[in-house]
Structures are given as C-alpha cells and as structure tokens.
Amino acid sequence: MQSIYLIYSAAKSVYFYQHLQSLVKKVIFAHSHELSLPIPHNQYCFDAKDKSIMKKISSIIPALKIAAPGLLVFLSACNSQPGPGPEIHDTKYIALDANGEQLEAGQQGPCVLDQFIGLVWEVKTDTPGLHDWRNTYSWFSPDETVGEELDYRGKADGGECAGSACDTYAVVEAVNAAGYCGFNDWRMPTRDELGSISDPRKTSTPPTINMKYFPYTQAGEYWSGNDYQLHWNSAWLWNFGNGLDRVEWKYSPRYVRLVRGQAIQLKRIKD
C-alpha cells in the first residue's frame, strides 16, 4: 500500500510540475511582445546567459522570479538559437492557388505557405462544405490503442460539419481524397505547428492569426493531432482566442485546420 501511495504521489508531482512548467512558458510567451523578446523557433526557449532578457522577464513578471526560478533555468536550457520577433507573422506567408502554385504577394488563396517554417496550411471558407469555418469535429484516430477498459481512439463523428464524417480522422481522409490544392498528404497539425501561426500581438484583438492570409478563422479552439500522455481520453488543442494551448476531452467538438509538409524551423515540445 505504501508503494502504491508513493507512485501516486510521484505521479501527482510530475503532473503538477508539467502544468506549472507549461504555465510559466505561456506567461513568458504572452508577454514576449511587451518584453521585446525574439520569438525562438519553438517559441518557448530563452538564453539565461543574457542577463538583460532574464532581468526584463523578472521585472515585468515578478512572480516568476519568486515562484519558479528553476523553471526559468529550464526554459533557457533548450540550446535553441533565437528566431525572429512576432513581426514575422506580417511577412512569412504566401498564398497558393488550387493547384498549389504560389500567387503574387498579398493575394489570397485556398492554401497558405509559411515560408519560414516550411508548412502549407488549409484556408477556411464561408461556403458550406468540407472547408467551412463553422465545421466542428471530435478527436478520433483509429490507430490509437484499444484496451479491455480504455479506448484511446477518441470519438468518431462527434462534431457538426459537412463534406465528411465529423471527426479529425474523417476530415483528413476527405481532404486528401479531394486532392486539395493539388496535394494528398494533408494531416492534423501538432500543437507546436498550430502555435507557429498564432500571433502573440493579437491576444487583445483575436483571433491571434494573420487574417489577411487566414480569413474565416474562429477566435476559438482548434484540435491538434497530439493526444495527452497523462490521460487516455484527452488531447491538446490551440486557442486562437488567447494564443494558448490546453487539454480537452476527445469527444468535445472543436474546429480543425489541416496542414501538410515538414516543419524545418520548429522544434518539437514534449507533451
């Protein structure tokens, strides 16, 4: 019984630490524009050797200096070269036409290339159908584990949509079958990839995204393809209302934006 209690206590400590760590990262990221900090490639790492940066952080967010100095060191230990500031959201996108060809700068199209990260994104429309910005989907992956008691797959067809069954697996299959923008390798984005198109300057005027290239974006929550390691029936999403990620039950209907390609400037953050 004592060993069970110790395991339970350790699990609680890990759970608490991970969520405290996540909170500190989010607070620093939310203040990045105010702090005039460069946004690193993975949007969470800073250089602790740069005393001016650490001084700015602790002066504007003094609670972090007191409550979690170890976490500040953790955030600095990513060995990541700083990336550009949030202003890159004004210049890094270029629209693609229905055949996947690049359009002239400033034009809109059904897909968008992030020239810095290297990913191609689906653009939503106001037309009822497969790409309708009002469509919602439950999180579902038939490849996840199914046990005697626990089903990690999520919920099939649990949203409200048109053009496919209303879950994350079905919409990916439908978009690939249609050859959207000339491509057949669309997938669910990771939460880090969703974060890469979230503009931290727009948290007070959501949605937190470049609306010129991503019109018809909800100031709401979009599923990622990452399930949550600490609970079998939940997954990560990104909120374009406040520019933060969180965990939600897989059966909950949420929005979806698909992506394709390989991120070249984005490091994976452990779930």
- CB burial readout 35-44, b (16+ within 10 A) else e: bebbbbbbbb
pLDDT at 110: 98
pLDDT at 13: 40
pLDDT at 57: 56
Token duo for residue 184: 């057949």
Is the pLDDT at 76 greater than 70? The verdict is no
Amino acid type, 120:
V
Q: Which residue has the higher pLDDT, 189 or 77?
A: 189
**pLDDT tier at 268, thresholds 50, 70, 90:** low
Is the pLDDT at 160 greater than 60? The verdict is yes
230 three-class SS:
coil
Digit-coded pLDDT (tens) for 215-257: 999 999 999 999 998 888 999 999 999 999 999 999 999 999 9
Digit-coded pLDDT (tens) for 4-37: 333 333 333 434 444 444 555 455 544 444 444 4
pLDDT at 1: 39
d(CA 3, CA 1): 5
The residue assigned the tokens 């067809």 is 157
pLDDT at 38: 39
Q: What is the torsional sign of CA 68, 24, 85, 259?
A: positive
pLDDT at 82: 60
Digit-coded pLDDT (tens) for 211-221: 999 999 999 99
pLDDT at 84: 82
Mean pLDDT of 145-170: 94
pLDDT at 32: 45
Indicate the domain borders of the chain. Answer: 2-76, 86-271
Is the pLDDT at 64 greater than 80? The verdict is no
**Lowest-pLDDT choice from 50-64, 162-176, 186-200:** 50-64
45 three-class SS:
coil
Amino acid type, 139:
W
Distances (CA, A) of 90 to 115, 125, 209: 12, 21, 10
d(CA 18, CA 21): 5
pLDDT at 54: 56
The overall average pLDDT reported for the chain is: 80
**pLDDT tier at 267, thresholds 50, 70, 90:** low
Digit-coded pLDDT (tens) for 94-148: 999 999 999 999 899 999 999 999 999 999 999 999 999 999 999 999 998 888 7
Mean pLDDT of 43-70: 51
